[in-house]
Amino acid sequence: MAAMTAVPRNVILVGFMGAGKSTVGRLLARRLGRCFVETDAMITAREGRSIPEIFEARGEPYFRRLEAEVLEALTEKHDHVVATGGGFPCEPGVMDRLLELGTVVWLAADFEAAYARANRIGGRPMLAGRSIEDVAALYRVRQDVYRRAHLGLDTTRMTVDAVVARIVRHLRDRERRAGSPAGAGDAPLDAAPGSLGDGHPAVDQPAGVGKRQDAEGG
């Protein structure tokens, strides 16, 4: 038991660009009373420039090296909610590490919804100069990595509140099953449950949807 309680209780969100990881992560952290960190923000803070500027000046391989450094920094974190960049878990060996660092949750939005949202928000160098077919191919390849998460949720037609409530429920179930803090057990992957709510899709909610925070029990 002592060994199990040493396992970090982080919650790590993975998924394609535009899936709503930042929006969900921020609200989830508030709901759980935990710190929220984003791998992209850790990188921009270290480099002192934006993600598009880093890609522009040094290219994607350099950015992936920075992500590898951030992965090492994540091993120091406990009880955090972490939103990762879309490509973060997709480098060799990274998903294995993330699965050890806490409960990994895949926010799996439809390609069309994620693509539209990522484009609308902008600042995504992986979309620049790529045709929609190329981005769709990247999306398909990455699904095989993301689906290894402990929990997968198709958020396309879920509200942010419903997504957060579903994650909180999963953490509590997992905690109960494992008889130890959430993130320490070996619960099987939940099937993506489809729509749990009929409000705005999670991917379309603006950041910081605090006024809807208590709409569902969590």
The answer to whether residue 20 forms part of the interface with ligand S3P (CB under 6 A) is no
The answer to whether residue 109 forms part of the interface with ligand S3P (CB under 6 A) is no
> Which span (27-35, 124-132, 146-154, 175-183) binds ligand S3P, by CB under 6 A?
124-132
Q: Least distance from C-beta 7 to ligand S3P, angstroms? A: 26
**From 20, 29, 40, 174, residue interacting with ligand S3P (rule: CB under 6 A):** 40
Which is closer to ligand S3P, CB of 62 or CB of 214?
Answer: 62
By residue count, the chain amounts to 218
Q: Least distance from C-beta 18 to ligand S3P, angstroms? A: 7
Q: Where are the alpha helices (DSSP H) in the chain?
A: 2-5, 21-32, 39-47, 51-58, 60-74, 94-101, 111-121, 132-146, 160-178
The answer to whether residue 117 forms part of the interface with ligand S3P (CB under 6 A) is no
Beta bridge partners of 151: 105, 190
Question: How far is the C-alpha of 183 from the C-alpha of 171, rounded, in Å?
Answer: 7
Question: How far is the C-alpha of 53 from the C-alpha of 96, rounded, in Å?
Answer: 29
Contacts with ligand S3P by CB under 6 A lie at 17, 21, 40, 51, 85-87, 118, 124-126
